[in-house]
Amino acid sequence: METTTLVDRLARLSSELTAAERENLKFLLSMAAGGLLSGHARPDSESLHRAALTTAQRALPRLHGELRPAFDTGVVFRGRAPFFSTADLAVLDRESLAYRARAARFHDHYVASGAPVARELALSQSISDFLTARVGPVLPTYKANYLYYDQPGLGIDPHVDKDEFSLNVLTMLEHRPARRHSRLILHPPEQDAVHVQLEPGESLIFFADSVTHERTRTVEGETIRLVSFGYRTIGSIGSTP
């Protein structure tokens, strides 16, 4: 199979689709990539598996037209983000703890949304400036979620997010105990997987709508709390003006 040609054709097809059709195609490709990575989809041969996975992974960033031209791993930044003060992190941590009781189960983890401090911080000018300097202008999507993986066996299978989290600013608030098991893994096309173990206070900013990613399962006694802010790249095909 000529992978490059098929990826180019999918990219061309994408440019002719409506926003809803493109979202559907993205969903199909992300399901394919996730299924192939997790072993739910099992083609007859190793070469077919590799070609199908590479096609899905390479096509996903191309669905966003020229907005992911330098797409490599999908990671924009990793580390202690300058836009969060120590006080910001402390208040997010407190709010995350307070919102645990109202978190709802979403597949294999718990999510709480609508928390006021998280929502307000997600709209801050300093985050917008930081992101704009790296990826061009962005719009907040008003999505700010607290995530909880605090029971054994929680995690999330390989997937690609919807455009509410095109660009995900994901910040670790707590990960106990010191001997940590669950980790975030990114699967960029035709490269080794990127294993990410964030320290509390560290952020990972990545194109969650383009790179397949997962969180491996927690073990007994493990607790993880994160906060996730969603942004959209302005000019994204299909984005609202």
Binding-site ranges for Fe ion (CB under 5 A): 161, 208
**What torsion, rounded to 10 degrees, do the Cα atoms 198, 199, 202, 207 define?**
0
Nearest CB to Fe ion, comparing residues 7 and 208: 208
Contacts of 53 (CB under 8 A, 6+ apart): 32, 33, 36, 37
Nearer to Fe ion, 106 or 142 (CB): 106
* Closer by beta carbon to Fe ion, 51 or else 77: 77
For residue 172, how far is the Cα from the chain centroid?
14
- Distance in Å, CB of 158 to Fe ion, minimum: 9
Cα angle for residues 215, 66, 203 (degrees, 5° grid): 30
10 Å Cβ neighbour count for 197? 12
Between residues 161 and 222, which has the closer beta carbon with respect to Fe ion? 161
Neighbours of 190 (CB within 10 A): 10
Q: Which of 142, 72, 107, 115 is nearest to 214 (CA)?
A: 107
Minimum distance of Fe ion from residue 174's CB (angstroms): 19
- Provide the minimum distance between the beta carbon of 187 and Fe ion in the complex, in angstroms, as a whole number: 12
Q: Which residues lie across from 107 on neighbouring strands?
A: none
- Compare residues 41 and 185 and give the one whose CB is closer to Fe ion: 185
Q: Which residue is nearest to Fe ion (CB)?
A: 161
Give the shortest CB-160-to-Fe ion separation in angstroms: 7
**Up-side HSE of residue 34: CA atoms within 13 Å toward CB?**
17
Closest distance of CB 106 from Fe ion, Å: 11
